[in-house]
Structures are given as structure tokens and as C-alpha cells.
Structure 1
């Protein structure tokens, strides 16, 4: 078992916020997403409108901008990186003058595009912690998915956003998010309300709460037999009758993600099993958050939160504080 290290480090920073280039790290989410930039979203993507009055929704670029503004207000003097942005579900179109052209003959200037779903993350590398020998950086981000909004309404209707603050594991870019750093259904009517809601969440966030939850995980270990039982039960959970699930801790991970957990139990360079087949809960947690990177944008954050909930319940079962169905 690796020795436990846990410390929050505030690195020396300038007197005002600085937006720096994003670190060229691995993607924090993969699935069917593609990488883009804030400039591309702002200048090249269309903005959907409310059908009844043709007024625009809050754009994805304005959402990112409001979040960055809130971040620089709350974390003055810290190093703040440019947002990492990924999008999915493209909605393609064309200008009226090109309505009769074959798709293969369309010029770039004749095409229109926006993406239905967008996720972004802003890293603050000057605020770090170390858990289980891994460096974590404070990270803030959000999701804007136009499919959650009622586009057949008028301007002034609630628009839906998801916002989070947590830590990103720099070894693998896995996201560590807990419930008090996650607004799963933020509803606002305008950009000012959105900025204020994000600002208040950041001001209220207690980073020690999440870190206290994960710092003890390296101290708990599953044997190879316990891991096999756990993973088998996880696969069974998906097919249980609904009444049977009521007394069992919820698991939001499907067969694809569970298959990835099993694969990386043997192969992951940073979080695989020990030589005797055992695995500590910090490594198990990172196998789940690593597998979560194959989730689609609309399920990514919910599964991020669920990963820690699930591993904490396993820890409670090992402690004997509760009976855990996954280990029986």
C-alpha cells in the first residue's frame, strides 16, 4: 500500500488572475466528443433561438465566459488556464443560397453548424492537493445541452445548465466531483442570474470536504476475490427488478464502463492491482472515474459524483458500519 499523503498547496501566484494556455493533457472526457476552442464556439457556431419570439438562448460561449468571470472574481491571484472545451451532437445546416446544392459541393461559407451539447473545464493549477501519491488540481466547469431547453417557448423561460467544481487528477485527468460541488440542474432566465449562481457556488465551496472524503481511500484494500465479487455484483445490479434496487446503493455505470474497470484493473499503469491481486479504494475510485471518460456529455457529471458515492459505500462496508450488497 502506498503511504498516504494529503495536503492542499497554494502555489505562488501573481496579484491578478492570468488566463494561460490549457495544458496539453489527455482529454477529461472522450466518448463521442470532439475538441474545440472557445473562439471557435464564439465565432463559428450558431446560437439556437426560442421559436415563439426568435430571441436567442444563452449561448455556450456566454456560459463559458460567465463561468470564467466568476472564477477570476473568486480566485483572484491564482493561475487560471484557458477552458478545455469538447462538444458533441452536431446540428448542421446551410444558407438559403445553397439549398439546392449537393452536400459534397458545399463551400465552408455555405455551411452552418452548432453542437447540441458542450462541456468545458477550467483548471487552476496553483491550487493543488496530493492524495495517494497523485497530484490533484482544482477544476471548474459546466455543461450546456440545448436539448434540455424548451425551444418552443419565449425568451424568459428557464434555461438549464450543469456546473461543477472539484479536482482533476493530473496523472490521468480523471475528475473528482462531490455533491456539494455540483449543480445538476441550474435553471436561470438570463446571463446575470447564471453568473450570480456560479459565483455563489464557488464562494460556498469547501474544497476540504471532497479531499477529506478521498484522503482515506488508500487505507482500504479489496482482495482479488472481493474485487471479482464486487464487479460481478455491479453487472448484476443493472438487471435487478426495480423493487430489489430500492435497498441497494445506486450505481450509474453500465456494462461498457464496468468492462473498462475490469480491463484497467490489469493494465492501468497508475491504478492497476498489486502483485497479489489486491487493489486499494483510491485506485478503484480512479478506475471508475477513468471509465467514466467514455460516458456521453449528458451523463458524465452524474456518474462522476456517483463514483465517489459508490466507493464510499464500499469503504463503509469494509469498515463494518453497514452491510454492502456488492460485497456479500
Structure 2
């Protein structure tokens, strides 16, 4: 029997806890880690001491982690920050010791964690990488309900657009490509991955007339990695590589910057997009949305992305096994 997928509580004042009960309808054997007081009223849950403990059908298994107090939807409490961080660390320990098959993380509020506990990391992903031993990681956003699937990895992420050309070094791009290649093999079961690499400039620089980075940086790197045996295409013009016939020619696309990568996925599959962290020694997925404080507790949250994240975590764990 495969170990359960662990779903963290995330920010208790956000929509994470109210989406947790939907895991019962996902078809994924899930255990939730958090304070059961933060679950919606009427949730059927059973406390477990181990992630593998049996529970009666229709009940959400809960690994209890008591917080400083109840949560008010839409209003983060600084007193909860330390426990949000502790839940993430506990989830990683369970994954690293093989007690759970994968982790799906509900969204956190970086601002609340910084204010309440001095959280020193840029975000969730960087903290997970630190807990795993400061390993190099990359962010993949994967569609789950469109065919051909759209999987994208930005080589640079949360930086101003004006800083992208300097940050898009051969080293940064090579790391993104290698992590993508390894992740497609290990976690998606693709034996010989096909990776498309987007150009930085319009028309991939058009021979250097619209920027030299594509010709002078990206193309030589692709040539070197091809010589090692990686199946790479590019640099490709980003405006023509995401329609269905083009997507059918690759398994993932490595892009130059955040919006170049994420706009196609969010346009094609807004509710079914899943964030995957490549490079970790365990599987981590997360829904492609934030805490949504503006609708928390109002019953308006769409569970689609959380359910997709749970299902993808399960499928990735099967591929890795």
C-alpha cells in the first residue's frame, strides 16, 4: 500500500483549511497536517498518530498540530506564524523519512510569517530547499486538464523584468534545464525528455537584430548540452511555441522569465495548474493560487487546483517509486 500524500494547512486565515475536506473527493489517500479547529464546521475528521493510521471512510485523517488559537478567516494572526513554519518543517521530516509519499502545500502568507516570526526566506520553495539541505531547485508550473500538457520552468523567477537579462546567465539557464530534464525522468516517467528552450527576446533575437542574448548565450549552451545527449530545441520564439501543435513536440519548456512561462499555463488551464518544485529529494506540489484572504471563510474558494495538486503528487510518487 502506497503511503499517503500529506496536505499541509498553510496559512490558517486563508483558504487552505477550508479546501482540505475536498481532499476526500479527490480519490487521493490524503492526510492533513494542522489544527483541526481551523477546519470548516462539520468536517468529518479523525486524529491519527501516524500518517498511515486507518480511519473510517469519509473521514479526513488529521495529524494534529495545535496552533496558538483559533483562526479568523481573512485576518492573519502573527501568533500563528511560528506554527505555520513548524508545520512545513514537520511535513518535510515526514517526507524525508518516507512516512508520506509526497507533500502538497497549501498557500502561506510570506508577509504574515515575516511579521510574526521573522521568516528569513523569500518564499515557501526556498524554505523547503533549505530544509532539504540547501539543494538547487526550480519551479515548474504544470497544466493537468489540457492536452498536450503544458509544463513550464522559468529560469529566473521573482525579479523585475529589467533585471532578467543580467540574471539569465549560462549557469542559471543550465541549472533550470538540468533540473527539468532530471525531474521529467524521475517524477513524470518520461525516459527521454524533449525540452524546448524559449528565447529571451522577440523572435528569439532574430539573428541578433533584437538582442544578442539568444545568439551569444542561449544557443551555445543548448549546443553544448545537446552534445551531451539532451534533447533540446531552441532558442525558440516564445510567441509561437505554446499552441497545441507546438506543445506536442516537447514535454516541458524552459523559459527566460516568470511571465513568459506562467501566462501560457494560466491561460490554458487556470484552475488546473499545479506548482511543482524540481530538485528536492521528496515530491512537493502546491495549488497555483495564494491565500485569497478576500474570500476566505465565505465558501467561494475553488478547490480545483488543490485537487489537481494532490492528484499530481500521487502520480509523481508512483512514477518515482
Q: TM-score, normalised by structure 1?
A: 0.25
Point out which structure has higher relative CO (alpha carbons under 8 A, 6+ apart).
2
